Structure 1
Amino acid sequence: MDGHASLDRFQAHCKWEKPGRMFLGDWTSGKSHVPGHWVSWQGGGKMTGRTVSRFSWGDSEETREQDDSLTPSPRRWTKVVAIVVCAAIGLGLLGFLSRRFEQSASVRSPQEPQQPEKFPSGDSMFAETVVVTLPATADELVAEGKRLADELMASFPDSPQALLLGGRIFDLFGDLDKAEDCWEKCLELAPEFAPAWYHLGEAASLQGEYGEAVKCLEKAIQYDPSRYRMEVVPFLADSLMNIGKAEEAVAVMEKAAAVGPLPMEGLTLLGNGYLELKDFEKAKQKFEEALAIDRNSASLHYALARTFAGLREPEKARQHREEYARLTAQRLAGAPRARAQLRARDAADVRPLARECYLATGEFYAEHNNKEQAERLWLKAAAVDPRSAKPRRLLEQLYRLQGRPESAVLIMRGIASEGR
């Protein structure tokens, strides 16, 4: 990546400062960093030349030709060496004592907080300190995500895309009722807006409203078949199965299989369709293909037990029933631990969701020429999940478009953060 040579001494850095503030800045490798304080860069001293004095003495012809006043005698040279050695020893001892004094002073009294400083302007550094404020808890992250959705829809009340994104954010953070309201408003503005039909159908399927799900998902395919056929298929086929239309569900899944290989879930769904139609041979084929992907699926062993019972192969049916019972008992034994992990939810669990929220809303604002808001949200995405590369890539592209190549180089060096 191109950049000024002096940038090799810098790296982008993030640090938490209570109560939940993080600062991005540049720092030299030789400058100490105190966690929880501002990070700043200060210019080092200028490089100076080194004066080297050369003394020569001896019996050579060149030495003898030099001015006698510049050529010391052997006795005088011995005194010079003694003085230099004593001075070096004294300076070394003074430096040692100074370091010991500084260490003892740092132990006796904590370091005073550094005052915030602005970065000096120039081609190789940010013009000013960048401050990123993040919510401190999981609940606060969720609340901020919902607030961003409300702000987005208030700023673009007549945009189906804004309403769609607002609904996705509410759905992401578990508010499905509010999400459905957003998608229904989308359809009031644009009745043929396929993404809204798709999300409404998916939500209806997950809530057990299978008739409504079939209606919405078929609309999604009708208005955008090329984009939504594969996304819609699992929810549509499952909803058809649940309203007693197994034959239609099998037809939908077979069309999907003709386009490309089905995942394990698709193979399982297709096997269930054939099992419902009492086509046990085809059901067995699909279930065994799915089992080859995941041999520890209890539901697949249960389905195969039913299938072999239909094929009048009791021994194989018994084997799969026993394996189903073993895997189910194993899952139930681990249930208390799983529940304890759910109760111990903290901010780390929702950070990936918050990252996606910041990324998506930032992209929407960037598309609508609000680059400042996009930068703010992408910086938050990078701070809330420093291991994700996408926020840095988006920021790099933004900075290069704005003629800020030095910022692009720094942001791609990585944004580190420390949790509290």
Structure 2
Amino acid sequence: MAAVRRIVVIGGGIVGLATARELSRRGDEVVVLEKEGRWAAHQTGHNSNVVHAGLYYRPGSLKARMSVAGNASIVAYAREHGVPVEVCGKLVVATSEEEVPRLRALAERASRNGVPARMVSVAEAREHEPEVSCVAALRVESTGIIDFPAVCAAMVRELTAAGADLRTNSPALAIRTRAGRVEVATPSGVVRGDALVNCAGLHSDRVARMAGLEPEARIVPFRGEYYELRPERRSLVRGLIYPVPDPTLPFLGVHLTRMLDGSVHAGPNAVLALSREGYRWGDVSAGDVAEVLRFPGTWRLARKYAYPTGLAEVLRSLSKRRFAESLARLVPAVGEADLVRAEAGVRAQAMRRDGSLVDDFLVQEAPGQVHVLNAPSPAATGSLEIGAHVAGLVR
């Protein structure tokens, strides 16, 4: 009979908890270290709570496979554990004839990824969203909305019942490997295990370096800012309305999402954050900024995107009028007065030294270690699949 392994998981977001859950289900003893005083404190707790269908991602990529499979598994998990979820579908809309070929290409990609999606007429699009403006639309049936922090709470309950050692307020201060075992220093003492799994999100590259690994990519934080529609204007949006993404850009563009509580979120944009946990313009970390500026990939990315794309994102961040104009392309009735500021999120985007953004999930291994170095959206949707994948790599 194989000896029980003790696995140390760093990071208490949805990917870390899903990985810990899978390891526990496979018979391992698990310790989860979360630096904050609560679970799902950063990316998991600051996103749009969308269950993605998987249509955007390169066929065969980890993102494509794990989001399509995860779309089904996370909905099933939520229903099994009493977590609020609704499979409502969404519209991706072309607002000009120039966007129609890109929309058709997106429909083809959805088909290749096994995503249930179909082109619909303008009249049918308006049956779903009476206020939408479009010349063509793609209806994606499997997209949903969910409460991801509540999913994490359910996983915590499962892990607790299984006897896992779950520790909040426990940042990793130092990591070393000795005699084939890993040792992680925390404020309350040293945690020892047979293997290490790094799911630290915004700090995953730093944890990797702390463990003696040179990460393939560096985390560069991008803040995504949101507004909400005023309660009296929520009727403008029934479900989810997305623009046709620009394939040359790494983000999807601002969109409208009806949440489980009936509120309608608008956003996010994408601006470089001045701190890895920089949810506001005033959140500035001199060390984080210096690290970004020293990284050669930052300047190579800036040469590619700073003008006009980056400048437009900054101006939209600073101007509610510009933000409203972006939304009005999708729903013309939305105006500046309809928007109120909502909580922002920060995306941990991995970047290589050549300035390219890592466009797929990135997992790097070392003896006795597995490091999840890039797991932005749709990682929450695919979290159960990522957890199973990572657990399979731990040896």
- TM-score, normalising length: structure 1: 0.19
Q: Which has the higher strand share?
A: 2
Q: Which has the higher helix share?
A: 1
